Amino acid sequence: MAAMCATPKWALLNLTLPKIDQKWFNGFIKGFASLSAKYDVQLIGGDTTQGPLNIAVTVMGETPRAIRRDGAQTNDLIVLSGEMGSAAFALQNPRRSKVCNNQLKKPEPRLDIASQISDIATAMIDVSDGLLADLRHICQASDVAAVIELTQIPVNPIVKKHKDWIQFVLAGGDDYQLCFTINIDDEDKLPDDCHIIGQILASNTSSTNRVMVLNQHQPIETDFTGYQHFKND
Protein backbone atom coordinates (compact mmCIF):
# COMPACT_ATOMS: atom_id res chain seq x y z
CA MET A 1 0.00 0.00 0.00
CA ALA A 2 2.69 2.49 1.01
CA ALA A 3 4.83 1.73 -2.04
CA MET A 4 1.99 2.80 -4.35
CA CYS A 5 0.88 5.79 -2.23
CA ALA A 6 -2.36 4.02 -1.34
CA THR A 7 -4.36 4.30 1.88
CA PRO A 8 -5.16 0.83 3.28
CA LYS A 9 -8.87 0.40 3.96
CA TRP A 10 -9.90 -3.26 4.15
CA ALA A 11 -8.29 -6.64 4.87
CA LEU A 12 -9.08 -10.32 4.35
CA LEU A 13 -7.55 -12.82 6.79
CA ASN A 14 -7.19 -16.51 6.00
CA LEU A 15 -5.82 -18.82 8.70
CA THR A 16 -4.89 -22.47 8.32
CA LEU A 17 -4.08 -23.98 11.74
CA PRO A 18 -2.96 -27.53 12.63
CA LYS A 19 -4.90 -27.18 15.90
CA ILE A 20 -6.47 -24.50 18.06
CA ASP A 21 -3.83 -23.11 20.42
CA GLN A 22 -5.92 -20.61 22.34
CA LYS A 23 -2.96 -18.72 23.83
CA TRP A 24 -1.27 -18.30 20.43
CA PHE A 25 -4.58 -17.46 18.75
CA ASN A 26 -5.46 -14.78 21.31
CA GLY A 27 -2.03 -13.17 20.98
CA PHE A 28 -2.17 -13.21 17.20
CA ILE A 29 -5.65 -11.68 17.04
CA LYS A 30 -4.69 -9.04 19.60
CA GLY A 31 -1.70 -8.00 17.49
CA PHE A 32 -3.69 -8.08 14.25
CA ALA A 33 -6.50 -5.98 15.77
CA SER A 34 -4.03 -3.48 17.20
CA LEU A 35 -2.34 -2.94 13.84
CA SER A 36 -5.70 -2.72 12.04
CA ALA A 37 -6.94 -0.10 14.49
CA LYS A 38 -3.74 1.93 14.20
CA TYR A 39 -4.20 2.33 10.44
CA ASP A 40 -8.02 2.31 10.47
CA VAL A 41 -8.24 -0.90 8.42
CA GLN A 42 -11.44 -2.97 8.61
CA LEU A 43 -11.37 -6.77 8.61
CA ILE A 44 -14.13 -7.60 6.13
CA GLY A 45 -13.80 -11.37 5.71
CA GLY A 46 -11.62 -14.40 5.22
CA ASP A 47 -11.60 -18.02 6.34
CA THR A 48 -10.24 -20.37 9.00
CA THR A 49 -9.50 -24.02 8.35
CA GLN A 50 -7.37 -26.92 9.59
CA GLY A 51 -4.01 -27.86 8.09
CA PRO A 52 -0.33 -26.83 8.13
CA LEU A 53 0.12 -23.38 9.65
CA ASN A 54 -0.47 -20.71 7.02
CA ILE A 55 -1.38 -17.04 7.42
CA ALA A 56 -2.56 -15.11 4.35
CA VAL A 57 -3.59 -11.46 4.53
CA THR A 58 -4.93 -9.49 1.57
CA VAL A 59 -5.05 -5.72 2.02
CA MET A 60 -7.08 -3.41 -0.22
CA GLY A 61 -7.03 0.36 -0.33
CA GLU A 62 -7.57 3.53 -2.32
CA THR A 63 -5.27 5.98 -4.03
CA PRO A 64 -5.86 9.01 -6.24
CA ARG A 65 -2.61 8.27 -8.08
CA ALA A 66 -0.86 4.91 -7.98
CA ILE A 67 2.95 5.22 -8.02
CA ARG A 68 4.35 2.36 -10.11
CA ARG A 69 7.87 1.10 -10.73
CA ASP A 70 8.01 2.18 -14.36
CA GLY A 71 7.99 5.97 -14.05
CA ALA A 72 11.65 6.78 -13.31
CA GLN A 73 13.24 9.21 -15.77
CA THR A 74 16.88 10.01 -16.61
CA ASN A 75 18.31 12.53 -14.10
CA ASP A 76 15.66 11.78 -11.47
CA LEU A 77 17.02 11.67 -7.91
CA ILE A 78 16.92 8.37 -6.00
CA VAL A 79 15.55 8.76 -2.48
CA LEU A 80 15.36 6.43 0.49
CA SER A 81 13.30 6.62 3.68
CA GLY A 82 14.75 5.54 7.01
CA GLU A 83 17.84 3.40 7.59
CA MET A 84 19.13 0.37 5.69
CA GLY A 85 20.59 -2.86 7.00
CA SER A 86 19.09 -2.88 10.50
CA ALA A 87 16.84 -5.91 9.96
CA ALA A 88 19.57 -8.02 8.37
CA PHE A 89 21.96 -7.05 11.18
CA ALA A 90 19.41 -8.06 13.83
CA LEU A 91 18.82 -11.41 12.14
CA GLN A 92 22.53 -12.21 12.49
CA ASN A 93 22.97 -10.44 15.85
CA PRO A 94 19.66 -10.78 17.71
CA ARG A 95 20.87 -9.40 21.06
CA ARG A 96 22.97 -6.45 19.94
CA SER A 97 20.38 -3.71 19.33
CA LYS A 98 16.77 -3.23 20.41
CA VAL A 99 16.22 -0.69 17.63
CA CYS A 100 17.43 -3.15 14.98
CA ASN A 101 15.40 -5.99 16.49
CA ASN A 102 12.26 -3.87 16.28
CA GLN A 103 13.01 -3.11 12.63
CA LEU A 104 13.22 -6.85 11.95
CA LYS A 105 10.27 -8.04 14.03
CA LYS A 106 7.94 -5.01 14.06
CA PRO A 107 8.54 -2.99 10.88
CA GLU A 108 6.30 0.05 10.50
CA PRO A 109 4.74 0.66 7.06
CA ARG A 110 5.95 4.06 5.82
CA LEU A 111 2.50 5.39 5.10
CA ASP A 112 3.64 8.63 6.75
CA ILE A 113 6.20 9.19 3.99
CA ALA A 114 3.95 7.92 1.19
CA SER A 115 1.21 10.42 1.99
CA GLN A 116 3.69 13.31 1.69
CA ILE A 117 5.30 12.34 -1.61
CA SER A 118 2.28 11.27 -3.65
CA ASP A 119 2.57 14.39 -5.82
CA ILE A 120 6.32 14.19 -6.48
CA ALA A 121 7.31 10.50 -6.66
CA THR A 122 7.85 9.27 -10.22
CA ALA A 123 8.51 5.61 -9.33
CA MET A 124 8.56 3.72 -6.06
CA ILE A 125 9.10 0.32 -4.42
CA ASP A 126 9.34 -0.98 -0.87
CA VAL A 127 12.75 -2.35 0.10
CA SER A 128 12.02 -5.94 1.11
CA ASP A 129 14.40 -8.02 -1.05
CA GLY A 130 17.43 -5.75 -0.53
CA LEU A 131 18.22 -2.23 -1.76
CA LEU A 132 20.14 -3.29 -4.88
CA ALA A 133 17.58 -5.92 -5.89
CA ASP A 134 14.62 -3.60 -5.46
CA LEU A 135 16.28 -0.60 -7.12
CA ARG A 136 17.04 -2.89 -10.07
CA HIS A 137 13.30 -3.64 -10.27
CA ILE A 138 12.65 0.08 -10.76
CA CYS A 139 15.43 0.31 -13.34
CA GLN A 140 14.19 -2.68 -15.30
CA ALA A 141 10.56 -1.52 -15.27
CA SER A 142 11.57 2.02 -16.30
CA ASP A 143 14.32 0.93 -18.72
CA VAL A 144 16.93 3.10 -17.01
CA ALA A 145 20.12 2.65 -14.98
CA ALA A 146 21.16 4.08 -11.62
CA VAL A 147 24.17 5.18 -9.60
CA ILE A 148 24.10 5.34 -5.79
CA GLU A 149 26.66 6.56 -3.25
CA LEU A 150 27.21 4.21 -0.32
CA THR A 151 28.15 7.03 2.07
CA GLN A 152 24.78 8.73 1.44
CA ILE A 153 22.76 5.72 2.62
CA PRO A 154 21.55 6.16 6.23
CA VAL A 155 22.83 3.32 8.44
CA ASN A 156 22.53 2.71 12.18
CA PRO A 157 26.02 3.24 13.73
CA ILE A 158 25.99 -0.20 15.37
CA VAL A 159 25.39 -1.82 11.98
CA LYS A 160 28.42 -0.03 10.52
CA LYS A 161 30.67 -1.67 13.12
CA HIS A 162 29.96 -5.13 11.68
CA LYS A 163 32.38 -6.54 9.11
CA ASP A 164 29.46 -7.39 6.78
CA TRP A 165 27.67 -4.05 7.09
CA ILE A 166 27.86 -3.26 3.37
CA GLN A 167 26.12 -6.53 2.51
CA PHE A 168 23.47 -5.87 5.17
CA VAL A 169 22.82 -2.42 3.70
CA LEU A 170 22.81 -3.32 0.02
CA ALA A 171 21.31 -6.80 0.07
CA GLY A 172 20.04 -7.67 3.55
CA GLY A 173 16.35 -7.07 2.87
CA ASP A 174 13.39 -6.86 5.26
CA ASP A 175 13.92 -3.12 5.78
CA TYR A 176 10.44 -2.22 4.45
CA GLN A 177 11.53 1.34 3.80
CA LEU A 178 10.57 3.17 0.61
CA CYS A 179 12.91 3.66 -2.33
CA PHE A 180 11.57 6.19 -4.83
CA THR A 181 12.56 8.65 -7.52
CA ILE A 182 11.71 12.33 -7.91
CA ASN A 183 12.40 15.08 -10.40
CA ILE A 184 15.49 17.05 -9.42
CA ASP A 185 13.37 20.22 -9.13
CA ASP A 186 11.32 18.66 -6.31
CA GLU A 187 14.22 18.07 -3.92
CA ASP A 188 13.06 20.80 -1.54
CA LYS A 189 9.65 19.08 -1.18
CA LEU A 190 11.05 15.96 0.46
CA PRO A 191 9.76 15.24 3.99
CA ASP A 192 12.00 14.51 6.96
CA ASP A 193 13.64 11.07 7.16
CA CYS A 194 14.18 11.00 3.40
CA HIS A 195 17.70 10.82 1.99
CA ILE A 196 18.98 11.33 -1.55
CA ILE A 197 21.31 8.43 -2.32
CA GLY A 198 21.86 8.65 -6.07
CA GLN A 199 20.53 9.47 -9.50
CA ILE A 200 18.84 7.77 -12.44
CA LEU A 201 20.95 7.40 -15.59
CA ALA A 202 20.13 6.60 -19.19
CA SER A 203 19.84 2.87 -19.79
CA ASN A 204 22.93 0.95 -20.80
CA THR A 205 21.58 -1.99 -22.74
CA SER A 206 24.97 -3.75 -22.63
CA SER A 207 24.80 -4.02 -18.82
CA THR A 208 22.55 -6.48 -16.98
CA ASN A 209 23.36 -5.00 -13.56
CA ARG A 210 21.86 -1.51 -14.14
CA VAL A 211 22.92 -0.22 -10.68
CA MET A 212 26.41 1.16 -10.03
CA VAL A 213 27.55 1.59 -6.42
CA LEU A 214 30.11 4.23 -5.46
CA ASN A 215 31.99 4.47 -2.17
CA GLN A 216 33.32 8.00 -1.69
CA HIS A 217 32.79 8.54 -5.43
CA GLN A 218 34.81 5.44 -6.41
CA PRO A 219 33.05 2.45 -8.04
CA ILE A 220 33.02 -0.75 -5.99
CA GLU A 221 32.32 -4.29 -7.08
CA THR A 222 29.15 -5.85 -5.68
CA ASP A 223 27.87 -9.33 -6.39
CA PHE A 224 24.96 -9.18 -3.95
CA THR A 225 21.73 -10.54 -5.39
CA GLY A 226 19.35 -9.89 -2.51
CA TYR A 227 16.45 -12.23 -1.82
CA GLN A 228 15.33 -14.32 -4.79
CA HIS A 229 11.80 -15.63 -4.38
CA PHE A 230 11.98 -18.69 -6.60
CA LYS A 231 15.66 -19.59 -6.50
CA ASN A 232 16.47 -23.31 -6.50
CA ASP A 233 19.38 -24.06 -4.16
pLDDT digits (tens, 9 = 90+) for 184-205: 999 999 999 999 999 999 987 5
Domain residue limits, the chain? 2-62, 77-219
Strand order in the sheet with 54-62: 42-50, 7-17, 54-62
CATH topology agreement for domains 2-62 and 77-219: no
4 touches 178 (CB < 8 A)? no
**What does the pLDDT look like over 120-174, one tens digit per residue?**
999 999 999 999 999 999 999 999 999 999 999 999 999 999 999 999 999 999 9
How large is the average pLDDT for residues 224-230?
54
Alpha carbons 89 and 153: distance in angstroms, whole number: 15
Residues paired with 202 in a beta bridge: 144
User: What predicted TM-score, i.e. pTM, was given to this entire model?
Assistant: 0.90
Handedness of CA 26, 109, 156, 225 (dihedral sign): positive
Please name the amino acid found at residue 147.
V
3-class SS at 66? coil
**Contact call for residues 222 and 170 (beta carbons, < 8 A):** yes
- Strands 7-17 and 42-50 turn out to be parallel
Q: Which CATH class is domain 2-62?
A: alpha beta
CATH of domain 77-219: 3.90.650.10
